[in-house]
Amino acid sequence: MGSIIIVVATDAPLLPHQVQRLARRATMGLARTGSTSGNGSGDIFIAFSTANPNAAAAGVTANVAMLPNESLNPVFEASVPATEEVIVNAMVGAETMSGAHGSTVTALPHDRLRDVLKKYNRLAP
């Protein structure tokens, strides 16, 4: 229950419509963690490319590089496990927090998590 903001950054030369398509792929990484994005969820997915740094320069015509649409699959495919990995890392690295009105969110217990991962052969040797 809650919301998530996912930012996907790449150095692949993408045009704005391609970056929008890349941002939508982050939903698949989120889904791989078990999330279904509920009714009250305010999920935000954004993406940007660091390629073409002078594309928005004022007063000049810009030449930009771009990947053809037919070459985007590897970029899309990389964004899914990367998104999943960063969500898992954030969950494991989170600390217990107290908030408004006395609410508390407890961090994952690492010892119990390791036991479960071991049980299902998901812990790297």
CATH code of the region 5-94: 3.30.2330
Quick one: pLDDT at residue 125?
Answer: 66
Separation between Cα atoms, residue 41 and residue 45, nearest integer Å = 12
The list of the chain residues with pLDDT below 50 reads none
Quick one: pLDDT at residue 58?
Answer: 85
Quick one: pLDDT at residue 124?
Answer: 74
Quick one: pLDDT at residue 1?
Answer: 64
Separation between Cα atoms, residue 40 and residue 3, nearest integer Å = 8
Separation between Cα atoms, residue 71 and residue 84, nearest integer Å = 22
Catalytic residues: 3, 41, 43
Q: Is the pTM of this model over 0.85?
A: no
Quick one: pLDDT at residue 98?
Answer: 95
